[in-house]
């Protein structure tokens, strides 16, 4: 039990996938304009990341390694991730059309979210078991959602603030997220 | 090598089957009238109507926020077909329509800059950089997106040339 909590804490906060490993920055910049769509995007990415890290672990351990096909890892992982994303898209389109509308183009773009592929590859590197890689994916997704929500909240405030014309829009967003990244570096002092 | 090909092919087939089944189970029924309208529209998504593509225009026409005449490439014939499908009465005389037109390249003016082929929604313009371009008649939908991009005004809309395949004998005129 302690193991599980520590793994979740270390993936979500200490080794945060967005702010420490700098993976998956595109959706963080793109979908963080409002809390609602950020929450939806976080949920969709959590679903995809968790499922994809489990599926890629199974493929790697039951198909690629027994056959000695480690060099096809990236190709197969991309294939699996793309299918999981496609499935998620169909599911969201059916279950909540409003969320589907607000996520727009960023939903299919989860396929090319490097955080998803990155976490799957890191899982292989660290020789985790199935349950642990599932947790690793889930923890990373939690960290991703957390950063996305915090950043969306910050941007909603910044949008109302008086920003110098040269900094308005994307520049001030980049400044904000760099400050957020520095704040998250503080978690590396956490003794886990 | 063979194992790799076989394993990946099997994986791809399995995932494809899974998605196919999911597509059946999670199918979202669209508006059938919209789909019928999309089927008779040009389908090149040229954007001249101001809606995002032909599907957007069809949705707007069905819910009444756009007129059936909003499609410039479709012209009179399309407006009449849409009106017939939706049971609307239309004053077709108001549409200025000189019959179907397609883009043509004036060879003596074309400098081969490739700007027109980049905007063509149906890839109907052929020709490489610094080569004279040409328009494939069968592929051109007459959306005239390319006309404005041409720096030398080499592209002009001209009536579809009559060929043996679609020449129709004119009706006898009254004396």
Question: Which class is domain B32-89?
Answer: mainly alpha
| A149 exposure class (CB count in 10 Å sphere: 0-12, 13-18, 19+) | middle
Of A46, A68, A31, give the one whose Cα is nearest residue A116. Answer: A46
Domain span at residue A131 reads 18-187
Which residues from A are below 8 Å from B23, CB to CB? 90
CATH 3.30.70.20 fits B98-161, yes or no: yes
Instruction: Say yes or no to pLDDT of A148 above 90.
Output: yes
Residues B2, B8: Cα–Cα separation, whole Å: 10
Residues A188, A181: Cα–Cα separation, whole Å: 12
Put simply, the answer to whether B28 touches A93 (Cβ < 8 Å) is yes
- SS3 state of residue B35: helix
Residue A7 lies in a domain: no
In tens digits, chain B (175 residues) has pLDDT values of 888 898 889 999 999 999 999 888 887 777 788 888 888 888 777 777 888 788 888 888 888 888 888 887 777 888 888 888 888 877 776 666 667 788 999 999 999 999 999 888 888 999 889 999 999 988 888 888 888 899 999 999 888 877 787 777 877 877 6
Residue A10 lies in a domain: no
Instruction: Say yes or no to pLDDT of A192 above 60.
Output: no
pTM of the model: 0.63
Residue A172: pLDDT band (50, 70, 90) is very high
Give the distance from residue B16's alpha carbon to the nearest chain A alpha carbon, in angstroms.
8
Residue A13 lies in a domain: no
Residue A126 lies in a domain: yes
Instruction: Say yes or no to pLDDT of A133 above 80.
Output: yes
Mean pLDDT of A79-106: 83
Residue A6 lies in a domain: no
Residue A180: pLDDT band (50, 70, 90) is very high
Mutate to test the interface with B, among A70, A90, A100, A105 (most CBs of B within 10 A): A90
Alpha carbon B128 to chain centroid distance? 23
3-state per-residue secondary structure call for A118-183: HHHHHHHHCCCCHHHHHHHHHHHHHHHHHHHHHHHHHHHHHHHCCCCHHHCCHHHHHHHHHHHHHH
Tell me if A28 sits within 8 A of A178, measured CB to CB.
no
Tell me if B41 sits within 8 A of B71, measured CB to CB.
yes
Domain count for chain A: 1
Chain B residue with minimum CA distance to A55:
B15
Mean pLDDT of A114-141: 90
Strand partners, B101: B159
Residue A96: pLDDT band (50, 70, 90) is confident
Alpha carbon A119 to chain centroid distance? 9
Task: Return mean pLDDT, chain A.
Answer: 88
Residue of B7, B27, B28 lying closest to A67 (CB–CB): B7
| Domain segments of chain B as ranges | 32-89, 98-161
Between positions 55 and 74 of A, the ones with CB within 8 A of B are 59, 63-64, 67, 69, 72
Q: What is the DSSP string of A42-73?
A: HHHHHHHHHHHHHHHHHHIIIIIHHHT-GGGH
């Amino acid at each position: 039990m302690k193991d599980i909590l520590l793994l979740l804490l270390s993936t979500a906060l200490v080794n945060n996938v967005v702010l420490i490993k700098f993976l998956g920055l595109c959706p963080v910049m793109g979908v963080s304009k409002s809390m609602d769509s950020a929450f939806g995007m976080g949920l969709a990415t959590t679903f995809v990341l968790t499922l994809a890290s489990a599926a890629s672990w199974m493929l790697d351990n039951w198909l690629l390694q027994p056959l000695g096909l480690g060099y096809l890892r990236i190709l197969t992982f991309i294939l699996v991730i793309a299918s999981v994303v496609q499935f998620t898209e169909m599911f969201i389109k059916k279950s909540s059309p409003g969320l589907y509308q607000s996520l727009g183009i960023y939903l299919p773009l989860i396929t090319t979210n490097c955080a998803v592929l990155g976490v799957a590859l890191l899982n292989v590197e660290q020789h985790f078991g199935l349950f642990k890689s599932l947790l690793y994916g889930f923890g990373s997704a939690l960290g991703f959602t957390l950063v996305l929500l915090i950043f969306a909240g910050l941007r909603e405030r910044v949008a109302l603030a008086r920003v110098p014309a040269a900094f308005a829009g994307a520049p001030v967003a980049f400044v904000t997220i760099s400050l957020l990244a520095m704040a998250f570096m503080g978690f590396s002092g956490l003794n886990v | 090598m063979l194992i790799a090909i076989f394993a990946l092919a099997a994986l791809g087939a399995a995932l494809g089957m899974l998605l196919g089944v999911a597509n059946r189970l999670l199918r979202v029924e669209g508006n059938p009238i919209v789909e019928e309208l999309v089927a008779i529209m040009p389908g090149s998504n040229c954007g001249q109507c101001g809606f995002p593509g032909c599907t957007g225009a069809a949705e707007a026409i069905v819910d009444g926020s756009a007129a059936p005449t909003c499609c410039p490439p479709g012209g009179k014939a399309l407006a009449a077909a849409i009106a017939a499908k939706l049971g609307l009465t239309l004053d077709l005389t108001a549409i200025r329509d000189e019959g179907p037109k397609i883009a043509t390249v004036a060879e003596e003016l074309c400098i081969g800059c490739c700007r027109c082929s980049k905007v063509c929604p149906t890839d109907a313009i052929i020709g490489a950089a610094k080569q004279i371009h040409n328009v494939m008649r069968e592929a051109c939908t007459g959306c005239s997106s390319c006309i404005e991009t041409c720096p030398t005004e080499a592209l002009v809309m001209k009536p579809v040339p009559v060929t043996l395949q679609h020449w129709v004998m004119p009706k006898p005129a009254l004396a």
